[in-house]
Each structure stands twice: as structure tokens, then as C-alpha cells.
Structure 1
């Protein structure tokens, strides 16, 4: 184990879903995502720093309002100290705390001490407290795992860091696909398939975190893709925050799951994603646009049948405006608000300007984000 640095800083990009929402929740079903150039930053320091933590615990700070919240270790878990205990603290810091706990489990398994930590989080995936739906929970989990592991002297591969982040996320929400974690870890455009989260959680509980990092994960795969040739990615925010977990849980509670309609949705979405991957790999711009439009139609069909509220008026206006100038657009993620994406001819500057103006007229804020070529970084 090498000497710990005084402070370790890691940056993880946010993400956008390009295709495969909802279907990707089930193990092995593919999706396409892209990392974006807005980041979460996590800095980890220890005793001896100017603002070091208590000698037997962890202090977590966030620029979203929760400053210097102290936690103590109890039977492998972090417990809020005294007056800081409460639902808001646990909810808003859950992803950071679970990430620290998961790295702590790996240290304990390897016979290494869990040092006192000061963990500081800052986010560019929010603005003035507004959440844009760019995968902040996933980015903060990835950045926390990477920063804490490095501070504690753990040498981990990219895949191992993803797996630790996936185990931490699945502890909080076993339905979470982990696509956001993969985009934050690898960066760029990726093809992603989710593992069986129940299987990997059981594996970690029975055999330990270290064994779970090395074992095969059924259904899981991730690989980098080339960016779309000759197309620009435009992103619009509807101004309406959405909860992916609530929408996905709402779908799972309905009798729709397992029905013929569900099977059709998964089959069509899977074919759409695979065709989009082929289009990206071959540089077939018209084919990619067709698949984005097809993905929009399939999400609309799902929404019409189960009435989840995937398409809000803002998202519908966003998509219609893009198609009116020859582009392709759809909600990014679970819908219900947050962001939509559009792909347009990169050389059609007038169309891009017209699109942004139509979005603004419809109450959709064009976001100045671009694909991030790299994932987690120092």
C-alpha cells in the first residue's frame, strides 16, 4: 500500500441516454449513452489537512447545501452524528455515503484500515440548485468511488471502479440500470448492457466485494462507440425535474410488465438500439436519425398504453421542433421532464439556430453541453 496523498480529486462527467430507456433496466438489454462535458468533482482529504475530519469517521460536504455533515462507522455502515441525523441528510447524501461504505468493505476484506476521510462534492450538473437530469447521482457515485479508493491506496482498473459504483448504486436502487455509471466511467459514446443486479448483490454478500469484482456478471457488457459522423448533438431542458426511479418503479408496478405489449416494446427497442449502434459504427447518418425517430415512436407507444407521463408538453415540443428542421429527437432517460436530445446536420447552422429559437419559445432551455470524450479523470 503506497503512501496516501494529502488530497485526491476526481472528476466524473454526466450522461444522456440516446436510446434504450426502460428496456435497459432488464439484464442484457442494450442501450446507447453519451457522456457530457459537465462534471461532478469529489475531493478526498484526511487528517493533517487544514479542514480534516474527525479521527474516527467521515465528514461529507456538498455544494448543494449540506455542509460538513459528520458520520461515524458502526458495523461497517456510516451513521449520521447527532443533530445532523434526518431524512434530508440521508436522502441527499445517500449516493456519496454508500459509495464510501462500498470502498470501505473492500478495504476491510483486504485487511486494510479505513481511514478518516473528508469528502467534498461539487457539481456542474446543477445550476442554482436546479437539476438538469444529466445523471448527477451516477457521476457522484463514480467520482466518490474513484477518489476514496485512490486516497486509500487501492489500485483499481476502470472496470473495477465501475463495478464498485454499481454495487453501491444497487444497494440503494436494485432497478437502476447503471448506464449512467458506465457513461461516467468510460466517457464518450458507449453501448451498454446492465448486469443482473440481484445476482451481483447476492454475490458480494456471499463471497465479498473483492470476489464480486472479479467474477463474471451475467448480462453485463460495455464498449466505446464512435461519435455520430456529421451530426451535432443538441440538448434541451424542459424546466421540469423528473424522477427516473419513480417512473421506472411505476412501470414495474403495472400489470404491463410481462405482457405481449411489454415483449414487443423490449424487442423493438433492442432492435432499434442495435441498429443505432451499427449506424454509429459504420458512419451511416440517415440510418442513425431513423433509429432515433423510431425510438421516440416506441416510447410514445409505451406512454400511450401505460400512461406514465413520459412525454410532457415540453418534451413533445422539443421533439417536434427538431423533426421540423430535418433532425431527430426524443426524451433522454425516463422522460416526465428533464432533458431531451436532438441530432441535426452539423453543417446546417440555420436549422440549429432555428431549433434553439423554437425551443426557447416553447419554454425549453437549450443547454450548452457537448459530448465528453473521456470518463472519470484526475
Structure 2
């Protein structure tokens, strides 16, 4: 039997808390973006990996372009208690660049690729793991690789939903990785929370793409030195209010709290709101809309919550005039 197994993994965007959540115990609200990368895996004579990002195949020989996928495969083998050479061989093909003409959207990440690869391998081996275990496995891969993110993107991509995520102590996990088996590590309590945020709020969720790529890792390294205890306390207070407001479908509070966290980001570092993101935000002025940057800022995408259909069309037109493309829209 040589059946082709297909899986998918989507993208994500931060609604609030993107920089604060880098600190253990801090929270963020993250929205799934159902623009998907797809993977196809099938039985083969030897392990072969192909992605439309690079357009050539490789095996498990060292390859910087495919290192993330290779590291994920190696971690999966470790999870099974096997060597990579002992894995049942397969061909893995990945499609869906989450970019246009070489410019990334900023809705995906290394997290999307990691989760997609894990989902493909789990399906191929007919294994059913809890989302919690998949989250830990994916985090293990990225932390070992030196990723400096909060892992909130993984939580959102795995649950494929609007989530309220509280981060864990990644330095502690690094120490555990260095001294413990993966089996023991996965059984430990890591101290994070992933809460699926169900809301009946009636609004349009809009994503504006600036077409200016931003490197999240570099932005995080640059901005994190400016994060103060005051910023963390204020952001967490707003996040708590936002969580309650989403659950209660409280439009007034949602708008007020999102404006507040946006202002905190504006004051945190001038590099977060570049000119395109400032234009994206200004386009909401005078409308029943709240708009802000999303993620590390400095380009990529911004978001807007619109509580009036006519205003939704107005901001889309204003974005177009500013050279900002409507990437995605849905009713929350």
C-alpha cells in the first residue's frame, strides 16, 4: 500500500500581547488565519524532502534550507525512541509558501512548518497525540534550534482557533532539554496555558498586508531590551480585560483595550510601527473600527476589528490607497 496522506497547517496573527508574552507568565491573544500550507507524505525507498519554497529535493544530509524540517524529523524519531535511519522511509512534499513574489505575508512562521511536518509524520505512523503533546514536541524542536519566540504561534496553529496563551519559562525548559530525556520532558508540567477563546462578538476581522517583510527574530532581539516591568503589568491588565470582553462580546471594552495595547506598543519602540503600519492604523480613524500592528511589527501585517460593514469597506479602500493589501477577512 502506497497511499498519499495529506495534512495542513495554517497561519496566525497576534491580536494583543505580542511582546509582553515573551516574558514567562505573560499572556497574548492570537488569531488563527486559515490560509494553509499543505503536506503530502507517502511510503518510499528512502527519506526524501521537497518544498516549493526551495524547489529541490533533499534527504537527511545537512542542508541549511531544509534544516527546520530535518530537525523536526529527528525530534520525531527521538520521540519514537528510534534513530532517523530506523524510521520507515517516506517522501514528504510541502506546498504553500505563505508569501507572494518572494515577499512573506508574516502570518506563518517556523511554527507553521514545524507543526505541519509533525502532523504529516503522525498521520504517516498512524499516531494520535493530544494537542498538548504536539505543542510540547513542536516547542522542543524550536527551543533546541534557539528560537527566541514565546511559542504562542504554535499554540494558535495547533488549535487552529482564537486562543488566549500564557507563556512558560523557556530558560527552564532549555535546562531540562540539556539534562533529561524527551520522554521525561514531555511528561513534565511546563506551566503554560492555552485557552480557546469563544466569542459571539459581531465584527469583521481584517488583515492588512503592508508588503514590507519583517524579520521577527531580529525585531524581538532589538525591542526586548525596552520591555519594562511597568509595560508587562499594564499589558497583562489589558489582556485580562480583553479576555473577559471577548467572552462577554463587549464591543466597547474590546475597542478600548485594543487601543490601549496599541498605544503601549507605540511607546515601547519606534521600530514597531513603521510608516506602513501607522497608515494601516490611521485608516481606522473616524470609523467604528480598532486597528493595530500585529506580531513583531516593522512590516508584515496589521489587523483591524470592524463593527460596521460599511466601515469595513471604507478601511479596505483606504488601505488600498496606501498600498496595503487586504490579505484576509472573516466574521468573528
User: Aligned Cα RMSD in Å?
Assistant: 2.2
- Tell me how far apart the structure 2 counterparts of residues 145 and 111 of structure 1 sit (CA, whole Å): 14
Matched with 2:51 is 62
The counterpart of 1:242, out of the listed 177, 191, 214, is 214
The counterpart of 1:363, out of the listed 318, 323, 329, is 323
The counterpart of 1:344, out of the listed 306, 317, 326, is 306
Query: Is this contact kept in 2: 1:10–1:43, CA < 8 A?
Result: yes
Matched with 1:281 is 247
The alignment of Structure 1 onto Structure 2 pairs a total of residues equal to 332
**Secondary structure at the counterpart of residue 142 of structure 1:** helix
Residue 230 (str. 1) matches residue 202 (str. 2): yes
1:59-98 maps to which residues of 2 (within 5 A)?
59-71=48-60, 79-80=61-62, 85=63, 90=64, 92-98=65-71
Cα deviations across residues 318-366 of structure 1 (Å, max 9, x unaligned)? 1111133121111110000000000111xx2221111111111111111
With normalisation by structure 1, the TM-score equals 0.82
Cα deviations across residues 226-247 of structure 1 (Å, max 9, x unaligned)? 1351111111011100011111
Matched with 1:100 is 73
- Tell me how far apart the structure 1 counterparts of residues 190 and 278 of structure 2 sit (CA, whole Å): 37
- Tell me how far apart the structure 1 counterparts of residues 54 and 329 of structure 2 sit (CA, whole Å): 24
| Structure 1 unaligned regions, length at least 5 | 72-78, 374-378
Cα deviations across residues 176-206 of structure 1 (Å, max 9, x unaligned)? 1111111111122110012222222332342
| Structure 2 unaligned regions, length at least 5 | none
- Tell me how far apart the structure 1 counterparts of residues 199 and 103 of structure 2 sit (CA, whole Å): 29
- Tell me how far apart the structure 2 counterparts of residues 194 and 96 of structure 1 sit (CA, whole Å): 24
Matched with 1:161 is 134
The counterpart of 2:314, out of the listed 343, 346, 354, is 354
- Tell me how far apart the structure 2 counterparts of residues 112 and 62 of structure 1 sit (CA, whole Å): 21
- Tell me how far apart the structure 1 counterparts of residues 119 and 181 of structure 2 sit (CA, whole Å): 19
The counterpart of 1:42, out of the listed 26, 39, 44, is 39
1:241-280 maps to which residues of 2 (within 5 A)?
241-252=213-224, 254=225, 256-257=226-227, 262-280=228-246
- Tell me how far apart the structure 2 counterparts of residues 196 and 5 of structure 1 sit (CA, whole Å): 42
Matched with 1:191 is 164
Q: After alignment, is 34-43 or 330-339 more displaced?
A: 34-43
Residue 144 (str. 1) matches residue 93 (str. 2): no
